[in-house]
Structure 1
Amino acid sequence: MKKIAFLAGTSGLVGMQLLHQLIQHEEYDMIISFGRRKLALKHGKLAQVEVDFKNIRTLNLESKLREEDMGGTYFPLIEALKEKSVSIHAFCSLGTTIKSAGSKEKFYEIDHDYVVNFAIWAQQQGAEKFLYVSALGADPQSNVFYNQVKGEIEEDLKVVPFEYLGLFEPSLLLGNRNEFRLGEEVAKIVSKPLVWLKLAKKYRPIYDYQVAKAMIHHANVDKKVKVEVIPSKDMQDF
């Protein structure tokens, strides 16, 4: 076993694309999905771990995997993690909306604290690379609360000592969400001509699969920088 992917935020728009592409990718022997609940999906390369992201920094992954492993399927995975003989790439697309969270405080906890907690824990497990779905306009000094939080997350992730940190800043995401977001649907209608006409590359909407493909690509090429911001216009090429 050579390479393992940690994945948080699997049930989201980009997260589901990441999962499908990681399963198909020949570089990854196993994918461990972390979430509040398990997905209705089974695959030989997929292990699912139920976690509370608020307390994930206390998670004993080996014990958790042993609990889930009824027939010894995860034995090679557990041994590889235990012996630290495998490369680990952590992908994170955790996020919500203020409406879904119920308040700005809860939104901050989910979008900021859960992401940073996962990053710190993943690094302690041996993850060398961390790839995070941020947002266009992320800026800790922004007057827009959403962009301000995304900017703070980026700054806090830079402190975690990964060999490589990739910060992906997509514009409006296109794809099939499980939940209806009126503001996003209106924005899609207004901005979709930019996609058709291939205009305003920096701001035009981007498909979920393009973001996922860009993340996996950047995880698997040699990097001379420790921190890299990948703008939406660069992800449009995937």
Structure 2
Amino acid sequence: MKALVLGATGATGKDLTKLLLEDESFSEVHVCVRKPLNIENLKLKTHIVNFENFEEWENLILGDVAFSCMGTTLKAAGSKEAQRKVDFDFQLNFAKAAKKNAVKNYVLVSAYGANAKSKIFYSQMKGELENAIKNLNFEKTTIFQPGMLDRKGSERLGEVVGLKLLKFVNKIGLFKSQKPLPTEILAKAMVNAAKIKSNGFSKIKLAAIFNFAAKNN
């Protein structure tokens, strides 16, 4: 299979790209990024793109399965408009290009609580993206809704504090359904889901993600 990755420079994307390069099921791994990855692998095909100019890179989205795990924070983006451009516009453009170029299998990382009718900006945006992707009608669409991600070496202070607190309450038996999800586990689940021979739409929530990561295909 030929894999396509959007968001390869993020925590989940890095783990995902590494797994795809190691997996013999994938002959090529194409990444669309703003700058080169610090990886040398014959299977890796790097496309340096300007995400603002969609028409310049849409013809590059050619393959068997597309993975979308791009994302940013409001603090990093600087405004809701800038965050929406990354978390919604760029990802939807990638999906539209994949559909136009006959990619059959689409895997999206969304978020816990995504709901287009939510009053919370982030949850509403993620819900709108889920709906837009679903309406593209890929032969197979898999959407993951992880909870708090456990990113290796995270420098996001709020995230680091939140993770420590959640891990503590998990240890004393609270909020077990909301335990942190290591990005490498999410990436493994994405790869496994993509390799399952099936059609249609499915949404994988936090508890099931750990099960998907444990599958042997």
TM-score (norm 2): 0.91
Q: Which amino acid in structure 2 is aligned with residue 188 of structure 1? A: L
Q: Would you say the 8 A contact 2:12–2:69 is kept in 1? A: yes
What residue is the counterpart of 2:74 in the other structure?
Answer: 98
What residue is the counterpart of 2:35 in the other structure?
Answer: 37
What residue is the counterpart of 2:181 in the other structure?
Answer: 206
What residue is the counterpart of 1:218 in the other structure?
Answer: 193
Q: Which amino acid in structure 1 is aligned with residue 192 of structure 2? A: H
Q: Which amino acid in structure 1 is aligned with residue 91 of structure 2? A: V
Deviations 1:31-77 (A, max 9, x none): 00111111121101101001122323442646x9xxxxxxxxxxxxx
2:106 partner SS:
strand
Q: Which amino acid in structure 2 is aligned with residue 55 of structure 1? A: N
The answer to whether 1:235 aligns with 2:186 is no
What residue is the counterpart of 1:27 in the other structure?
Answer: 25
What residue is the counterpart of 2:65 in the other structure?
Answer: 89
Q: Which amino acid in structure 2 is aligned with residue 96 of structure 1? A: T
Q: Would you say the 8 A contact 1:194–1:204 is kept in 2? A: no
What residue is the counterpart of 2:13 in the other structure?
Answer: 15
TM-score (norm 1): 0.83
Task: State how far apart, in whole Å, the 1-side matches of 2:156 and 2:75 are.
Answer: 9
What residue is the counterpart of 1:118 in the other structure?
Answer: 94
- Pick closer, same or farther for the CA change 1:60–1:93 going to 2, 3 Å: closer
Aligned length: 212
Q: Would you say the 8 A contact 1:123–1:162 is kept in 2? A: yes
Note the C-alpha offset of 1:199.
5.9
State the percentage of identical aligned residues. 31
2:187 partner SS:
helix
- Pick closer, same or farther for the CA change 1:23–1:155 going to 2, 3 Å: same
Q: Which amino acid in structure 2 is aligned with residue 23 of structure 1? A: L
Superposition map of 1:149-188 within 5 A: 149-177=125-153, 180-188=155-163
What residue is the counterpart of 1:148 in the other structure?
Answer: 124
Q: Which amino acid in structure 2 is aligned with residue 189 of structure 1? A: K
Task: State how far apart, in whole Å, the 2-side matches of 1:197 and 1:221 are.
Answer: 36
- Pick closer, same or farther for the CA change 1:221–1:106 going to 2, 3 Å: same
For the pair shown, the structure with the greater C-alpha radius of gyration is 1
Q: Which amino acid in structure 2 is aligned with residue 129 of structure 1? A: N
Deviations 1:191-238 (A, max 9, x none): 0135557764431111101111111111111224x2111001111232
Note the C-alpha offset of 1:154.
0.3
Task: State how far apart, in whole Å, the 2-side matches of 1:160 and 1:212 are.
Answer: 23
Mind listing any 5+ residue stretches in structure 1 that lack a counterpart? 65-80, 82-86
Q: Would you say the 8 A contact 2:20–2:29 is kept in 1? A: yes
Mind listing any 5+ residue stretches in structure 2 that lack a counterpart? none
Decide which moves more: 129-138 or 192-201.
Answer: 192-201
Q: Would you say the 8 A contact 1:94–1:115 is kept in 2? A: yes
CA RMSD, 1 decimal: 2.0
Task: State how far apart, in whole Å, the 1-side matches of 2:210 and 2:109 are.
Answer: 15
Task: State how far apart, in whole Å, the 1-side matches of 2:197 and 2:124 are.
Answer: 30
- Pick closer, same or farther for the CA change 1:164–1:130 going to 2, 3 Å: same
